[in-house]
Homo-oligomer: A and B are copies of this chain.
Amino acid sequence: MLIVKKFGGSSVADRERIFNVAKRCVEDYQKGHQIVVVLSAMGKTTDHLIAKAHEIDPNPPKRELDMLLVTGEQVSVALMAMAFHVLGVPSVSLNGAQVAMRTTSAYGAAKLKRIQTERIRNELENRRIVIITGFQGMNKYEDMTTLGRGGSDTTAVALAAALHADSCEIYTDVEGVYTADPRIVPNAKKLPEVSYDEMLEFASVGAKVLHNRSVEMAKKYGVQLIVLSSLSRAEGTVVKEGTRMERMLVSGVAADKNTARISVIGVKNEPGIAFKIFNMLARNHINVDIIIQSVGREDRKDISFTVAKNDLQEAMMLLNENQAAITAQNITCEEGVAKVSIIGAGMLSNPGVAAKMFEALYSANINIKMIATSEIRITVLIDEEDANRAVRTVHDAFELAD
């Protein structure tokens, strides 16, 4: 079998953990499997590098920030190769340029375009473990790029797809996907299996197990993902095409506190205004989540939406600069909010799920500010201080505990 194994930054944070990862890989290697290891930067390295950049330049050129950040994973892969050397197993480390992982040019938010697999295949055929930097690639100018936060998951899935790997194992600091964050809901249950779509919804509402780009790519190319812990031997959660006959109504509850609400007040009630606003944000790589547009009163209407907290400042700046163009009378924002979501493919055929969620929140005296739904997800925006209580309340209401 060809197995791609991805380990996050906390899994390679120090000498002991590096050897722990190396030993787990060697076990599978010695069973005769071909092993590709994808690594993130060690521990808080990326954050430290960003802090170093900001010490010099509060607004560093994105090309140069990527040039700086890609060193983080390169340190990880070189050290991992040394650990394999100590364990007596041949290996070789490769960075994004060496592979080559070709990406678009958008520094800091590049998208993978194609992966050259010749070198990797040659090394695997020579019975080497191949260790590859996650999160990075090279654009058409031969410049280094990064895929944005969480990009290492995407690197792993893309490699699994390109190499037609039998399995793509994503090692994290949790043992799998749970019905809710076990730190918030102590009796949350681990799910043996979720569908790509459910996993996408989990990721998009802030359950930080897998980056949603990686799940989308896994779904597109049919890559079977396994989410498991680098610190335990517990069985993980398999993410694949939904096939279970009997679905749980709701798979899980998640809260996302990395959110802020923006309201654009009193824009002209005419076609194209919403397009202008969201196109402007998209061009600046700001993702917008829940969107609510008020029913127009006379010639004016209000548009509210949420963005990630770290995009708030830039989004407000853009909106304020273009206030006239988007015909807004006023632009406001609110930071102390959180999204709480329930996810489950079973919702499709079960009316009344939303009502049950709203009832639980009402009983707990939690006020709902905004609501958004997809086919398999219901999300509400509430005060941030109510978020954990809301997760527990809803988890209980749907009887998700072990």
Is A79 an interface residue when CB atoms closer than 8 A count as contact?
Answer: yes
**In-complex Cβ contact of A60 among B63, B74, B82, B142 (8 A):** B82
Known A71-B71, A85-B60; judge A15-B55 contact (CB<8 A).
yes
Does B64 lie within 8 Å of A68, measured CB to CB? Answer: no
Is A225 an interface residue when CB atoms closer than 8 A count as contact?
Answer: no
Please indicate which of the listed interface residues A55, A61, A82, A119 has the most CB atoms of chain B within 10 Å of its own CB.
A82
Does B98 lie within 8 Å of A82, measured CB to CB? Answer: no
Q: Which residues of B contact A15 (CB under 8 A)?
A: 55-56
Does B67 lie within 8 Å of A86, measured CB to CB? Answer: no
Does A57 lie within 8 Å of B82, measured CB to CB? Answer: yes
Binary B-proximity of A70-111 (CB < 8 A = 1, otherwise 0): 110011011101110110000011010110000000000000
Does A64 lie within 8 Å of B49, measured CB to CB? Answer: no
Please indicate which of the listed interface residues A55, A78, A83 has the most CB atoms of chain B within 10 Å of its own CB.
A78
* Copies of the polypeptide in the assembly: 2
Q: Which residues of B contact A65 (CB under 8 A)?
A: 78, 82
A392 vs B53: C-alpha distance when bound (angstroms): 45
A52 vs B12: C-alpha distance when bound (angstroms): 13
A18 vs B95: C-alpha distance when bound (angstroms): 27
Closest 6 CB pairs of A and B: A68-B78, A57-B82, A71-B71, A67-B78, A64-B81, A56-B82
Residue ID in chain B nearest A75 by CB atoms: B71
A55 vs B79: C-alpha distance when bound (angstroms): 9
A144 vs B75: C-alpha distance when bound (angstroms): 13
A98 vs B79: C-alpha distance when bound (angstroms): 23
Q: Which residues of B contact A63 (CB under 8 A)?
A: 92
Known A64-B93, A67-B93; judge A56-B79 contact (CB<8 A).
yes
Does A143 lie within 8 Å of B98, measured CB to CB? Answer: yes
Min C-beta distance of A232 to chain B, whole Å: 23
Q: Which residues of B contact A142 (CB under 8 A)?
A: 98, 119
Min C-beta distance of A98 to chain B, whole Å: 6
Binary B-proximity of A8-21 (CB < 8 A = 1, otherwise 0): 00000001001100
Min C-beta distance of A291 to chain B, whole Å: 35
A144 vs B71: C-alpha distance when bound (angstroms): 13
Q: Which residues of B contact A81 (CB under 8 A)?
A: 61, 64, 67
Does A79 lie within 8 Å of B52, measured CB to CB? Answer: yes
A214 vs B119: C-alpha distance when bound (angstroms): 34
Q: Which residues of B contact A143 (CB under 8 A)?
A: 98
